[in-house]
Each structure stands twice: as C-alpha cells, then as structure tokens.
Amino acid sequence: MRYAFFITIFLLLQLFSAGAALSLQWWLQPWITPALRIAIWSAIFIITNGLLILSVKRAFANSYRWVSGWMLVMHFMLLTALLISLLYGGYWLIVLLSGNANNDLSSIAIGLRALALIIFIGLFSYALHSAYVPVVRKLSISINKPLAKPLRIAVASDLHLGRLFGVAAIDRLNRLMIDSQADMLLMPGDIMDDNTDAFNNYNMAKNLAELCSSLPYGVYATLGNHDLYGHEQPISQALVDAGVHLLNDDVLGIEHEGQPIWLVGRFDNHKRQRVATTDLLAKVDTSQPVILLDHRPSDIDEHSQLPIDLQVSGHTHNGQVFPANFIVSAINRVGYGYEAVGRGHFVVSSGYGFWGIPFRLGSRSEIWLITVSGHTNK
C-alpha cells in the first residue's frame, strides 16, 4: 500500500511538471529559443524530483512543505492555463459568431499573457487569504431531548498549531469566541502539527490558557491523527497544562442551566486500541443530550443509528485545495458541512488551520457556531 502511494505521488508530480513546463513555455513564447525551451523543461523536472528526493530522505525539517509548495505552484500554473484557454476559446467563439474577426493577434497574445500573470498572482493571494482569514458558519439545530435554554457551541477543528499557524491564530480564535458569546469550544483533533516544538518555542501555552479561561464552560478536545504521530504524551500534557479538557476515549458530564449534558470524545482511528462508540455511550445517560467529538467523519452511518444528538468532526479540510474537495465529497458520507442523518446532527468542519502549506482554494478557514435547542422538562 505504501509503495502504491509513493508511485502515485511520483507519477502525479511528473504529470504536474509536464503541464507546468508547457504552461511556462507558452507564457514565454514570444522570447522562446530552443535552448530556453530545454532549460525550462530541465529546470522544472530537476526541481520537482530534487525536492521529492530530499523529502523522501528527510534531508531537513518539514521538507514535505517544500514539495507541497512546489506542487501548489505547478497546480496554479495549470489552473491559470485552463482559465486562459477557456477565455481565449470564448473570445474566438464570440468573434466567429459576430463575424468581426480581428487579425491583430499580437495584441491579443500580449493581453492574454498579462492576464495569465494577474490570474496566477490572484490565485495565490486568494488562497493565502482563505487559509488565514476565517469565517464563522452559524447553525441552529433542535434535538428531541431536554434543554432548558439553548447551548452555544463553537467548533474549531484541525488547528495544526506550528510555525506557520500559532500565537496570532490562537488570539484571533479567542476574539471570535468572545464576539460570538459561545458557551464552550470543541476541538475535534489535529490540534498540533505533529509535535510540540513550535508550541513550546513560541510560548503558545499562555495564549491557549487565555482562550480556555475566556469560555464559560471551557475548551474540550480529542486527539487527531497528527496528534498521534509519536508525540501523543507531550501533546496531551501541553494541552492539559493550558487548561484544555481532553476527552480521549472518555466521557464527561457537564451542566448547562441545571441540565446535564454529556460530552463524549474518541481517539482518531490511527489509535488501533480505541474504544468503540457503543462502549462509551454505555457510560452515559442517553436520555440526556449527547455530543460526540470524533476527528474523522468515517463512522457517520453507524453513529446515525445511535443516541448521539450532535457529532462534530474535521480531518477532511474539505480537500483544502481544489479539486480535492470533490474527492473528499465522493469518499465520505458527509465530507464537509452539516447534515441531519438518522437520529443525529453531523457537522464536519474544513478546519480552522491548515495542513502543510498556508493555502486554501475551494475551502476556507472556519469555525462553526452551533446553537442547540431542546425541549423543557414538564
């Protein structure tokens, strides 16, 4: 399976490289020479495979970011070429239908190349903005269980706290919590970006502690796959020390306006020994509201038949970069967004942070603000 993955990545990178070389060759066509054409193709394939080798050999820290970043550059070159082709084809279709053919192709060619540069820069700017400037998705749901007053739940999954997403992001999240007047914050996994190095080096614990203290009922979290890649204990300890309530295969009862509410948290399925959801539910009173934190949305069909009122998940990032969002949608029952399924309500967030590189296209950094209402006991 691992070899198949690497072969797929290798072939995909070669395909991207060929497309990027063709795109750059077109853009430089007015100045192209045989030597320059060879230089373009050679440079792109050398960069691609050189970065791939360095990443596989783990020649330096976070070398995968360089491969991901270069792949994104090539991807945006291909998207730019596609958009220009569509615009150029549309232009000639209009010209042919109107009968006003213009033979001055030189000005059109210059205009298209200028437009291509604008589109390429625009894609990068928009993707960077989408990664760092979050939106608040508001949702109201009603459950058929006792709840004297509505409960305001904020959800921020997949923070991936690290060198590229840290103190400023935590402080921004704190301001969003205060502005939204949330009762609690749920963080369903991938809180750290694989380890606590940046968290400690940039003293993020202070900012996270301030976030935890700003919410009336506090912050509750469970670990995702990136929290379990060999650094589970230091990540868990860092979160607990900052005031986060960790729910790893655990349950916790809290009170909201005198009404008991159960929070259930599962390990990500990267943890092979994790407890079954049914075993966790056996520890709670399911006649009362039950909220589940489960990092991956892979068990939604099963959970929809259980007495779970709300499940919050992340992991998918909604693909993070187009067109991966279509893949996410195809392989998951709910790959992103909200859906009422069976007995429960399910929310899958695209995440507050990002993985690898700080770019999003076709997805957005976000938090969810979910207002849960129920019925009053009589």
List CB contacts of 336: < 8 A, sequence separation 6 or more.
316, 318, 319, 325, 328, 329, 348, 349, 350, 363
What per-residue confidence (pLDDT) applies to 144? 92
Tokens (6 digits) for 61: 């820290």
> 241 pLDDT band (50/70/90 cuts)?
very high
**Predicted pLDDT at 322:** 95
Alpha helices in 181-288 (DSSP H): 197-201, 204-214, 232-242, 277-281
Note the pLDDT of residue 99. 67
Query: Which pLDDT value is given to residue 98?
Result: 72
Quote the CATH superfamily of domain 135-375: Metallo-dependent phosphatases (3.60.21.10)
Say which residue, 173 or 109, is predicted with more confidence.
Answer: 173
Give the span between the Cα atoms of 34 and 214, in whole angstroms.
Answer: 64
Domain-by-domain residue ranges, the chain?
2-130, 135-375
Q: Would you state the pLDDT for residue 236?
A: 96
Q: What is the DSSP letter of 292?
A: E
- Are 367 and 155 in contact by the 8 Å Cβ rule? The answer is yes
Task: Please check the confidence at residue 377 and state whether its pLDDT lies above 70.
Answer: no
Res 105: pLDDT: 60
Candidate from 92-106, 191-205, 259-273 with smallest mean pLDDT: 92-106
Mean predicted confidence (pLDDT) in 295-311? 96
Q: Is the confidence at residue 29, as pLDDT, over 90?
A: no
Average pLDDT on 107-122 reads 89
59, pLDDT greater than 60: yes
pLDDT of residue 102: 58
- % of the chain residues with pLDDT over 70: 96
State mean pLDDT over 318-338.
Answer: 95
* Predicted pLDDT of residue 101: 60
- What does the alpha-carbon distance between residue 57 and residue 374 come to, in Å, rounded to a whole number? 54
| Total residues belonging to the chain | 378
Task: Tell me what pLDDT residue 218 has.
Answer: 96
The pLDDT tens digits for 210-226 are 999 999 999 999 999 99
| Residues 60-83 pLDDT 10s | 777 788 889 999 999 999 999 999
Assign 279 a pLDDT band (cuts: 50, 70, 90). Answer: very high
Percent of the residues in the chain that have a pLDDT greater than 90, as a whole number: 79
Mean of per-residue pLDDT scores for the chain: 92
Model pLDDT, residue 95: 67
